[in-house]
Chains A and B, each alone.
Chain A
Amino acid sequence: MRSSMILIIAAFLLLLVSRSVYVVDQSEQAILVQFGEPVGDLVSTPGLHWKKPFIQEVRRFDKRVLPWDGDVSQVPTLGREFVLVDTTARWRISDPLRFLRSVRDEQGARTRLDDIIDSVVRDIISGTSLEEIVRSKDWTVDAKKLEELEEEVVTRQDVQLTKPKKGREFLEQEMLSAASRLMPELGIELVDVRIRRINYIDSVRRQVETRMISERQSIAERFRAEGQGRSSEILGEMSRELRTISSEAERQAAEIRGKADAEATRIYGEAFGADAEFYAFFRTLESYSTMGANTTLMLGADAEFFRYLESTRRRPAGGR
């Protein structure tokens, strides 16, 4: 009987101790709540802690940086293009007491964050052109230099390649500071707001793809035309060179022949000039020997050749 009494008392003491001791994890901070009313200081050191049993409750809050992931929302930009924007944010519970009073727990905080961040993102995106959102401060593309360097760039009328006035980081900064304005009263500190994804909606995307295709095709056409042009150029040059070579050769040949002819004429002239009359005779005789079977020769009966056909009498020679 006595031993069972001891056991009952021991059990009661254990229950009491287990109700008055609580553990705060490394990642947590805690607030004690008594009848729904926060009491005492914030417990932020991890380890074992005491509380009044049964009447005090522990509310734990994460000390760490917490993720917030927004829903993908469809927003028009300043240029009226619809884009899908997916934002992500990081936050922490900076004032657990206020946090407990205003949003109660993380779930409550998340719905408030959804409202605030979503609306800030929408405001900022819809007041900004798409280029501003996509590009950043350190944008260094120089449109003029580009045309000289890149053979593949087609100058586009719809997109200016100018440096953004604000740029992506600045817009993210704006989002952060605009959303942060409402945070202190929730006991929340926004650490970071970032655009995780931004893209065209499907219908616009298809249009952009069609535009990209036609852009590529025009580049392809240009390459082909360039090929044809270069080819004609080379062939033209070739033809010119061929003509130059052959005409040059013909000229040289004619020159050489002409010189030779002149030389021959000079030689002939020198030699034949010694006795022009005899040369005429000599040359005429030579030309006779070219007569052949198709020649009909008509000779006078008193020709030199027939002189002795009539008589062998001596006649004065030389009468031709």
Chain B
Amino acid sequence: MSTPNDQLKNLFKIVRESGGGGKQRNGGPNAPAPDLPVGWIGIGIAGLILLWASFSSFYTVQPEERAVVKRFGAVIKTSDPGLHFKIPFGVDSVQLVKTERVLKQEFGFRTLNTERDRTQYASEDHPDESLMLSGDLNIIDVEWVVQYRIAEPMKFLYHQRDPEGTLRDISESVMRRAVGNRLGSDVLTTARVEISNIVRDEIQQAMEKYDNGIHVVTVELQDVVPPAAVQPAFNEVNESRQERERMINEATKQANQQIPRAKGEANRLITEAEGYATERVNQAHGETVRFSSILAEYRAAPEVTRTRMYLETLNEVLPKVGAVYVVQNGSTGPIPLLNLRDAKTVVAEEVR
């Protein structure tokens, strides 16, 4: 966790101090043994050492970091952001840990860069990471993200080697357990939130068991889909579900169209019948009233009225009738009385 600058200094220090042969840990100044003109060279070397010492006895801790300070390999303290002093010459060494920053690990996909305006993802998949078995032994492709923070830098550095790799392994294991404990259809639909909560808690438990100072902030499921080969079939199910709704809707629509119309038609039929009824009754009333009044008249002078009515009727009828034959009692055939039509044709022929 030391900065490149520190590392450079350390390297510089080792080269200078050990004069070759000694390891880094052997520390301790091992000054060169010049038997030539000591004066100026000695002063020069001393000056250089002094200069380097003054540069390497301070270190800066950024706001999002904490520093773990070791003296001869043993941790003596952790320091907060700011400018701090340490003993130079490799006695004190500083490791900086980004404790405030929320870090993340991605499973099943990788973010390429987040620069510019939108995030780009790497195009290749990581099926090894994301393909897993559900409880009904179907295959599911789950992509997720684990966000975490290094809560305790001391534990993070010294309780476990490669705690972040452990976080990765545990995440995969726990996610597979959670998915394997549910039905594939649940994982794809309703159980997402539940799974991310359970997985977060279980990862956190494991981290606490290892006591590695990692605090899991959140686990977010990303794409949870059936494997690529099966996806068209899943889409087909969705389409057929839509189709089912469409068919039902169309039938309902037809019913909604026709039933009110039929009701209207029925009302028309009834209203018409009512009209007929009114008409019929009125007619009856009218006719009977007329009959009654004629009857009253008739009763006053029955014979005359009878004859009058008879003659009036014939008067009215005869002009309209096509032909009238008068038949003499005992004669064989009918005698045409009027043959207007034939006469007319004869006249017409003569004119021509």
Interface residues of A (CB under 8 A from B): 3-4, 7-8, 10-11, 14-15, 17-19, 21-28, 45-48, 62-67, 69, 88, 90, 130-131, 134-136, 138-139, 141, 146, 150, 152-153, 156, 159, 161, 168-169, 191-192, 194-200, 205-206, 208-209, 212-213, 215-217, 219-221, 223-224, 226-228, 230-235, 237-238, 241-242, 245-246, 248-250, 252-257, 259-261, 263-265, 267-268, 270-272, 274-275, 278-279, 281-282, 285, 288-289, 291-306, 317-318
Contact = CB atoms under 8 A, between A and B. Distances in A.
Given A23-B27, A288-B313, A253 B272 contact: yes
B262 A293 contact: no
B75 A212 contact: no
A272 B230 contact: no
Contacts of A28: 73
Contacts of B4: none
B128 interface: yes
Contact of B251 (A47, A234, A272): A234
A293 B322 contact: yes
Contacts of A11: 30-31, 33
Binding site of B, secondary structure by majority: helix, strand, loop or mixed? Answer: helix
Nearest to A270: B288
Given A65-B159, A267-B284, A212 B26 contact: no
B326 interface: yes
B332 interface: no
A168 B267 contact: no
A305 B312 CA distance: 11
Contacts of A26: 70, 73-75, 157-158
Interface residues of B, number: 127
Contact of B181 (A139, A152, A297): A139
A15 B30 contact: yes
A65 B254 contact: no
B212 interface: yes
Contact of A231 (B250, B267, B291, B299): B250
A261 B273 CA distance: 11
A194 B169 contact: yes
Contact of B313 (A208, A275, A289): A289
Contact of A197 (B132, B159, B317, B324): B132
A17 B28 contact: yes
B62 interface: no
Contact of A248 (B74, B176, B251, B266): B266
A168 B182 CA distance: 13
Contact of B159 (A19, A64, A237): A64
B169 A67 contact: yes
Nearest to A137: B181
A289 B317 contact: yes
Contact of B169 (A14, A131, A196, A221): A196
A237 B254 CA distance: 11
B298 A278 contact: yes
Nearest to A222: B240
Contact of A161 (B31, B136, B284): B136
Contacts of A22: 25-26
A43 B87 CA distance: 25
Interface stretch (B5-13, B110-118, B274-282): B274-282
A62 B161 CA distance: 9
Given A256-B273, A298-B327, A208 B139 contact: yes
Most buried by A among B170, B180, B289: B180
B255 A234 contact: yes
A279 B299 CA distance: 12
B100 interface: no
A108 to B, nearest CB: 17
Contacts of A306: 326
B46 to A, nearest CB: 15
A159 B137 contact: yes
